[in-house]
Structure 1
């Protein structure tokens, strides 16, 4: 049996979920979006700017209420933060005591967490939780896991100074295999997120170091490790005038070129999470020479074109004009009050302050991350970035296109030419319950591969394996041996996993092995 698509109108190839279903396998659990790509439907290429202009000036009564409520919430949070900032420390301490008392009545099925609520500081596990939670630097985090690390300074062409952390296998007592791997974090994160699992072997950078890889971990401009510029200070708005475009044009190429030169090698393996995937795909699509410097891309939770947010109230903020967003949040750091709340909030309460917005925004239940692990990971979840970067993401969500930043609404923005990517080995790893990732969209944005291999993981165990052809489905021949070295796309779908689960989920050690 074969399925081919050849119609007079321009059509896209069958989606991954359709191909799996045609083979009799369980289709990938992907939520539909307003305009599904990769379903064999007509490829509508309406100008998003014309659509936006056409819809402008027609606000409904309900949308106006949503906008007013959204603005009220933002202003209210600013007001509360300002009031608490001037409160005496004694009042804040009293509030913490009240929170502890309230949380003492809410037991979980995790005994370690219950002991934590009792302020039990005895035992190695409680000591490690507190030390990892309060670690101020990447070096401290590595030291708590028994590893040494280095910090390297990478200068970009536009004057930023980026910190790149290194975990050298030879410095940690392991034999080098001569290969290097580069990790890149996601939005509002730092390199810390890769190494804060309580169990050392659950952290992928440490496992790779043990196997002899020279591990480098990048940091985006504007986060706590990359807050230097040759001309601007962080209090100047010029410092924060960057979006995903600057990551693609400057940060990624500069970091990779530095590593290649430092180790005198020709290629590296790139591992990205969330926005870290978007950064490399955008970068290699516009920097042709970068394709020859990467032997493999491993993209974890690759959200290049996220869907609209699940909460109607918060989703209205996405539709705000950039000028209104800049008025509400300024043109510098995004939501710097998060660090203030993190510093004064009782830890179990802070977990709730993360889980509840994640549920409202993305419909994440966060049940695959152990509650004790959250006590550590959530304290390293947020770091600074620019408001412009988030505005850029809002533009991508609205247009449903992986595009460059749109300076003026009357000019059609440039869409990243990801079809031009020439890296032959790409691995996509995504949670099958992740509302931000549509695997059909991602695959459709990539160049056509000779073969696509899909693997389904459940509880850390590989349960399904299939071979898909890029252009047509041939059921009798879908298990193909001897994949071409330069035309291989491998997909891992992890059952019941959401976005952050792929960093800190309970079965992380098994997933790392796979």
Structure 2
């Protein structure tokens, strides 16, 4: 244990040395100058410390390692954000009937979530093996999609003026149009997790014409209403989000938890050396029951989490918690009048979501409570099923990283896809 402690402090010291360029002399006032607190990705150091290489390999490196042919595509949104999408080609020799599947990740995550920790458990691999044409997207602001036709994410605060409202209104429609144009299909399948589901509900409400471009939407751990959020830490942060937001922005921050941030590196190191500690973090944040995901899975997952998002995005989620409504971003009375023509933001009208939807819910999910899911269910006009995974311990990330997902989640998704293919 003493040897580990020394190693830990050496690692943290090395990482800290890369951050001393930050200007600490700035006065504590709101500034338009962004602070950079990213750290170079030191693979050689990680290799020397014995990291599992799947922790730090990127999407195409992982798919190459596991022999899944992959393409890299770029999509530009209406408001100028440039997004990276990874296409995993069907493993079947005859690809003429490989239906496209658009996969959208959750908060702090990337497309990597669909291909870790293994070819058996990664849903992206499973779908490609079953002859589907997989398109794993990345929303604006994460480490794969930090580009804009005019704005520099490291210099321009305006780049970070977005929440899931913009990703739902602009990112998802642009990606859908691109996939359909490339594949020639009139529709596609959609799979979302966590924030990925939120963005879909936004798109279906604000741009209902896109409902006609989806065969079926599978929503894992759906998040819309957060009135009954069962997470004390998240509720406390939400109640104080304005103070936190003002403090961070006055210090020059607009992005939180970037992939190369010190928080990511320390979490990555601790999860490699003490994975049980990281499992406790999952328990506190999502309701995860210890022992239901392997420690190897958790250590790899943490290596790909903390991939960056905007402070405004987190603030929008905080507003959902505080208001108990699924509504657009509250800019204040003056800002709301300018943006919406109303003193208060409108709620998203999910009754406009006409595309077929299947929800995958969980009894022990602290981020997507069954009570909140029930509110969503009462308003969706074309819900095919709310499948509550029949395990009392099941939580937010068990949908994607629990080994039992190969029996409880994947077959059900494949069956639904097959059924809807036959209908079209």
Give distance in 2, aligned partners of 1:498 and 1:371.
16
Q: Residue 346 of structure 2 aligns with which residue?
A: 414
Mark the runs of 5 or more structure 1 residues left unpaired by the alignment: 1-80, 89-118, 122-128, 451-486
Kept in 2: contact 1:275–1:303 (CA 8 A): yes
Q: What is the alpha-carbon root mean square deviation over aligned residues?
A: 2.8
1:442 to 373, 387, 402: 373
Give distance in 2, aligned partners of 1:343 and 1:399.
34
Kept in 2: contact 1:174–1:210 (CA 8 A): no
Q: Residue 370 of structure 1 aligns with which residue?
A: 294
Identify the range of structure 1 (371-380 vs 302-311) with the bigger mean alpha-carbon deviation: 302-311
Q: Residue 513 of structure 1 aligns with which residue?
A: 411
Please state how far the C-alpha of 1:278 moved relative to its aligned partner.
0.6
Kept in 2: contact 1:244–1:404 (CA 8 A): no
Give distance in 2, aligned partners of 1:231 and 1:191.
24
Larger radius of gyration: 1
Please state how far the C-alpha of 1:211 moved relative to its aligned partner.
2.1
Q: Secondary structure at the match of 1:238?
A: helix
Kept in 1: contact 2:350–2:380 (CA 8 A): no
Give distance in 2, aligned partners of 1:155 and 1:438.
34
Q: Secondary structure at the match of 1:412?
A: coil
- Does residue 403 of the first structure (1) align with residue 332 of the second (2)? no
Give distance in 2, aligned partners of 1:419 and 1:333.
33
Change (3 A) 1:371 1:83: closer
In the superposition, the TM-score normalised over structure 1's length comes to 0.64
- Does residue 157 of the first structure (1) align with residue 54 of the second (2)? no
Change (3 A) 1:347 1:295: same
Please state how far the C-alpha of 1:174 moved relative to its aligned partner.
5.2
Change (3 A) 1:145 1:315: same
Give distance in 2, aligned partners of 1:210 and 1:243.
34
Q: Residue 266 of structure 1 aligns with which residue?
A: 186
Give distance in 2, aligned partners of 1:153 and 1:177.
24
Q: Secondary structure at the match of 2:152?
A: coil
Q: Residue 94 of structure 1 aligns with which residue?
A: none
Please state how far the C-alpha of 1:83 moved relative to its aligned partner.
10
Change (3 A) 1:290 1:366: farther
Kept in 2: contact 1:169–1:176 (CA 8 A): no
Please state how far the C-alpha of 1:362 moved relative to its aligned partner.
4.0
Kept in 2: contact 1:449–1:489 (CA 8 A): no
Please state how far the C-alpha of 1:444 moved relative to its aligned partner.
3.1
1:166 to 81, 84, 87: 87
Encode CA deviations 1:341-370: one digit per residue, 9 max, x unaligned.
246546133x35533333334443343111
In the superposition, the TM-score normalised over structure 2's length comes to 0.77
Q: Residue 69 of structure 2 aligns with which residue?
A: 148
Number of residue pairs the alignment of both structures matches: 356
Give distance in 2, aligned partners of 1:191 and 1:377.
12
Q: Secondary structure at the match of 1:326?
A: helix
Q: Residue 500 of structure 1 aligns with which residue?
A: 397
Give distance in 2, aligned partners of 1:321 and 1:257.
35
Give distance in 1, aligned partners of 2:303 and 2:406.
21
- Does residue 194 of the first structure (1) align with residue 89 of the second (2)? no
Q: How does 1:225-240 map to 2 (within 5 A)?
A: 225-235=144-154, 236-240=156-160
Give distance in 2, aligned partners of 1:146 and 1:395.
43
Q: Residue 64 of structure 1 aligns with which residue?
A: none
Please state how far the C-alpha of 1:210 moved relative to its aligned partner.
2.0
